[in-house]
Amino acid sequence: MEKSYVVGIDIGGQTAKIGVVDMRGNVLAQSAIRSNDTTDHEEFITKLCTAVTELVNKSLSIDQIRGIGIGAPNGNYYKGTIENAVNLTWGGNATSIPFAELMSEQIGVPVKLTNDANAAAVGEMTYGVARGMKNFIMITLGTGVGSGIVIDGHVLYGHDGFAGELGHVTMVRNNGRICGCGKTGCLESYASATGVARTARELIETTDKKSLLRNIPAENITSKDVFEAAQQDDELAKDIFDFTGKMLGEAFADFVAFSSPEAIILFGGLTKSGDLIMKPIVESLNHNLMPLWKGKVKVLFSQLKESDAAILGASALAWEL
């Protein structure tokens, strides 16, 4: 039987999105499962295999699937492992999970795996706003902050498969926030969705500014709450976005000095805030850039559906199998 289809999977901190993709890059069917309702990786793999099989069997058979590509936090392209993935409820308990091997054995289809942000970068380069670009950085703003670095048309993996952990550059060196990775002051602890919520709680405690956010129990505040308040012209909520964007712009200026990208492309839940996050990012970036790069680096939102970029990028791995 001709194997004309692949499966792309995007594993995030809260959900795993699954897509069946044809040779033209069309996502034919999608589904999703929770990724944070177990602490056991083998249990999650079994659940994922079941979900993939059920999705495929709606219109195809598993025998028509050439391979499965996966983008996951701390995914190692070289080894097919997920290593010390603290943003996954089942990922931080094991130093190295042979995820691709375990899933392939269970489902009977070859599996290839990479970092989730790298997968998103491949999807954007192949199908999105980065089409035709050979030098860009993909930044994923979700539960964490991920990055995929493309140089001369190739994803940068480094000697061990983990190059590009830009979410864990240190932004605050003294008394910085504790990050899930174990360090302090990481960009992720300030600019992720959870970082935005932490900023909200801090500002509520340290300022007297009136805000709709004060009507929500501090421990329950989410980045979505901050966005909705900012849409209603809430000054404290807008301050939170200004702070987050300033932090990202400062970090991006350092990233530019490293690889001189044509563009920095933003992807993920926080991008739904539009100009609330984009305006302070661009202002901060241009303020902190060396004159050599001022006005030369574009900051763009992904043009792909939130679920499609990583699914398509991950699926591209499967065609290599």
Domain match, 230 and 213 both: yes
313 and 298 part of one domain: no
CATH number at 172 reads 3.30.420.40
Please name the residue ranges forming H helices in 175-221: 188-191, 193-206
Clarify whether residues 79 and 156 are in a common domain: no
Long-range interactions of 268-273: CB distance < 8 A, separation 24+: 268/140, 268/141, 268/142, 268/306, 269/141, 269/142, 269/193, 269/223, 269/306, 270/141, 270/142, 270/191, 270/192, 270/193, 270/196, 270/223, 270/244, 271/141, 271/301, 271/302, 272/227, 273/227, 273/230, 273/241
Q: What pLDDT is recorded for position 62?
A: 94
Residues 109 and 16 reside in one and the same domain: yes
Structure tokens at 317: 């791995």
Look at residue 283 and tell me if it is in a domain.
Answer: yes
d(CA 1, CA 63): 7
Q: Residue 233: what residue type?
A: D
Say whether both 75 and 211 belong to one domain.
no
* Closest to 248 in 3D by CA, of 220, 280, 212: 280
Note whether 191 and 270 are same-domain residues: yes
Decide if 115 is inside a domain.
yes
Per the listing, tokens 């094991």 go with 94
Contact present, 8 and 318 (Cβ < 8 Å): yes
Tell me the residue ranges of DSSP E strands in 73-129.
Answer: 75-76, 81-83, 96-97, 111-115
pLDDT of residue 313: 87
| 136 and 44 within one domain | no
Each residue's pLDDT expressed in tens, for the chain with a length of 321 residues: 678 999 999 998 889 999 999 998 899 999 999 999 999 999 999 999 999 999 999 999 999 999 999 999 889 999 999 998 888 999 866 679 999 999 999 999 999 999 988 988 988 998 889 999 999 999 999 888 999 999 999 999 999 999 999 999 999 999 999 998 889 999 999 999 999 999 999 999 999 999 999 999 999 999 999 999 999 999 999 999 999 999 999 999 999 999 999 999 999 889 999 999 999 999 999 999 999 999 999 999 998 876 677 789 899 889 888
d(CA 33, CA 15): 6
Residue 285 within any structural domain of the chain: yes
Number of structural domains in the chain: 2
- The tokens describing 191, both together, are 């600019």
**Contact between 240 and 276 (Cβ < 8 Å):** no
Establish if 127 belongs to a structural domain.
no
150 Cβ partners below 8 Å, 6+ apart? 121, 125, 130, 133, 134, 135, 136, 137, 138, 156, 261
Same domain, 293 and 314: no
191/313 same-domain check: no
Based on the fold, state whether residues 179 and 272 are members of the same structural domain: yes
Contacts of 225 (CB under 8 A, 6+ apart): 197, 200, 213, 216
Write the burial class of residue 154 (CB in 10 Å: 0-12 exposed, 13-18 middle, 19+ buried): exposed
Nearest in space to 255 (alpha carbons), one of 187, 154, 202, 161: 187
Residue 240: inside a domain, yes or no?
A: yes
Q: Can you say whether the dihedral through the CA atoms of 256, 257, 259, 261 is positive or negative?
A: positive
Strands 5-11 and 75-76: unpaired
- 156 belongs to a structural domain: yes
So what's the pLDDT on residue 39? 92
Single-letter amino acid code for the residue at 278? M
Q: Is 307 helix (H, G, I), strand (E, B) or coil?
A: helix
If asked whether residues 143 and 251 sit together in one domain, one would say: yes
Residue 142 lies in a domain: yes
The pair phi, psi for residue 156, each rounded to 5°, is: -85, 120
Of 193, 271, 273, nearest in space to 228 by CA = 273
Same domain, 111 and 178: no
Range of the domain at 146: 132-302
Cα Rg of the chain, angstroms: 20
Q: Is residue 180 part of a domain?
A: yes
